[in-house]
């Protein structure tokens, strides 16, 4: 059994997509990031960067004690290795999947995240910052569109690279991106959107879907934290 510490954000959706695709049993423990759940000592004990998602695997392959894993990319690799699915073992194919997973982790996710911040959450409009991240998101969409030309999936076979990228394209309208400008990306997006496991994964968010991802009070918790404030030091 797997315990998933989750909130319905793009990084949270990555993990529910994998779990549904693999047909694994799991329990969801909501981590309300607008309520500060990610700063609770019991959560920090296994997710020290005060970010969700995280998992605890009660049946790790080594037969030992329950094993926690934090960081969404690390979780996807861990689950792929555990199940033997969605991450090839052959050297070159595995290399390609990991390249595109890291592209999402180091590029699409952080840049789209900053796009979300300056477009929706920043207390004041900063035209330079907004243009910087909207344009960079657009560039990254172009990279992915080019990669998908002539391919059904990012790394040829369906993989954790697709699961990682898709949730960050779901909010494309908020990111001020038009999928019609990226026809191969749009084709892939629609194929992802219609996968039964993806539909089920997003349905798992229903208990919390009537709440905003980030509340006004939550902004004070999420934006502006420092090492000192997170440590609880005076």
192, pLDDT greater than 70: yes
The mean predicted confidence, pLDDT, of the chain is 94
Q: Which two tokens stand for residue 86?
A: 């969605």
Name all domains of the chain by residue range, CATH numbers in brackets: 2-85+199-231 (3.40.30.10), 91-195 (1.20.1050.10)
For the stretch 151-182, pLDDT in tens is: 999 999 999 999 999 999 999 999 999 999 99
The dihedrals phi and psi of 117, each to the nearest 5 degrees, come to -65, -50
Question: Could you give the 3-state DSSP secondary structure of residue 4?
Answer: strand
Structure confidence by residue, pLDDT tens digits, 32-79: 998 889 999 999 999 999 999 999 999 999 999 999 999 999 999 999
Contact 201, 24 (CB under 8 A): no
- Tell me the C-alpha distance between 79 and 95, whole Å: 17
The secondary structure of 28-91 as a DSSP string is EEE--TTTTGGGSHHHHTT-TTS-S-EEEESS-TTS-S-EEEESHHHHHHHHHHHHT-SS--SH
Q: What is the mean pLDDT of residues 99-106?
A: 98
Once rounded to an integer, what is the mean pLDDT over residues 16-25?
98
- Contact in structure between 112 and 11 (CB atoms under 8 Å): no
Chain centre distance of CA 39: 19
Main-chain dihedrals φ then ψ at residue 9, nearest 5 degrees: -115, 170
pLDDT at site 120: 92
What is the rounded average pLDDT of the residues 140-149? 98
Most confident listed range (113-117, 120-124, 224-228): 113-117
* pLDDT more than 70, % of the chain: 93
pLDDT band at 233 (very low <50, low <70, confident <90, very high): very low
Q: What's the pLDDT at 225?
A: 76
- pLDDT above 90 covers what percent of the chain? 86
- Listed residue (170, 18, 31, 177) closest to 101, CA to CA: 18
If you compute the radius of gyration of the chain from its CA atoms, what whole number of angstroms results?
18
What's the predicted TM-score (pTM) here? Answer: 0.93
Average pLDDT over residues 109-137: 96
Q: Going edge to edge, which strands form the sheet with 26-30?
A: 26-30, 2-6, 54-57, 67-70
What is the reported pLDDT for 227? 81
């Amino acid at each position: 059994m797997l315990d998933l510490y989750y909130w319905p954000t793009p990084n949270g959706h990555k993990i529910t997509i994998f779990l549904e695709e693999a047909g694994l049993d799991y329990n969801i423990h909501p981590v309300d990031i607008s309520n500060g759940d990610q700063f609770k000592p019991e959560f920090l004990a296994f997710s020290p960067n005060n970010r969700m998602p995280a998992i605890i695997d009660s049946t790790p392959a080594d037969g030992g004690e329950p094993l926690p894993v934090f960081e969404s990319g690390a979780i996807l690799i861990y689950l792929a290795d555990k199940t033997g699915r969605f991450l090839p073992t052959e050297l070159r194919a595995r290399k390609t999947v990991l390249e595109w997973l890291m592209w999402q982790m180091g590029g699409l996710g952080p840049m789209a995240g900053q796009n979300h911040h300056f477009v929706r959450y920043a207390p004041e409009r900063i035209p330079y910052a907004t243009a910087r991240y909207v344009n960079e998101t657009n560039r990254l969409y172009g990279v992915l569109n080019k990669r998908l030309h002539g391919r059904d999936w990012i790394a040829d076979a369906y993989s954790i690279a697709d699961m990682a990228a898709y949730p960050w394209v779901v909010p494309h309208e908020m990111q001020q991106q038009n999928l019609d400008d990226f026809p191969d990306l749009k084709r892939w997006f629609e194929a992802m959107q219609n996968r039964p496991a993806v539909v089920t994964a997003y349905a798992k968010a229903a208990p919390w879907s009537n709440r905003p991802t980030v509340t006004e009070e939550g902004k004070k918790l999420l934006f502006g934290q420092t090492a000192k404030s997170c440590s609880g030091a005076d």
